[in-house]
Amino acid sequence: MKISDTIKSMGKQQIYHLVFSTYKRREILLNDDVRRQTGKWIKEICEENKIRYYIFKILADHVHILLKKDKKQNLSQIMQLIKGTSTFNFFIKYPDFAIDLKRKRLWTHGYYYIEIKDKIQYNRTIKYIRNNRDRFKDELEVLKKAPGFTPVGDNQ
């Protein structure tokens, strides 16, 4: 779908930029496998529930999603589906994280959202999400180049 078509349809459907964080902003999503799997779950949840997303980006401690919801859909229910189902799947696939976190919480209770009102804001939001850098990944890459660095665990 072209951007112009997206903006024309905004009267019937609403576009939102959503951001939600991991519990206590822990860098749980730093590992590439964990990140890919979490992204797969988010895609599946959206597709199964007819939630149209344009772009999303998973960073070490938070997620950005640009999505379109129908006026009949409730934003808080969409977030409950995404966060609840991904948490359930996450701890089935990665049960050791429950030990590290002392409880089975993947996401914080709240989330941030802003409604996209025009083409300029839509374009800026797409650019912002695409260019959002993962500072934890960047710091790890710098560390890997440091003399004497010895990788440990999955983040090699």
Tell me the per-residue pLDDT of 61-118, one tens digit each, with 9 for 90 and over: 999 999 999 888 899 999 999 999 999 999 999 988 876 656 778 999 999 999 999 9
pLDDT tens for 102-122 read 677 899 999 999 999 999 999
Those residues whose C-beta lies under 8 Å from the C-beta of residue 116, and which sit 6 or more positions away, are 10, 15, 16, 17, 66, 122, 125
Give the pLDDT score at 115.
Answer: 94
What is the value of pTM for the model shown?
Answer: 0.78
The domain locations on the chain are 3-144
CATH number for the segment(s) 3-144: 3.30.70.1290
Q: What are the backbone angles phi and psi of residue 43, rounded to the nearest 5°? A: -60, -50
Question: What per-residue confidence (pLDDT) applies to 14?
Answer: 92
The maximal CA–CA distance of the chain, rounded, in angstroms, is 58
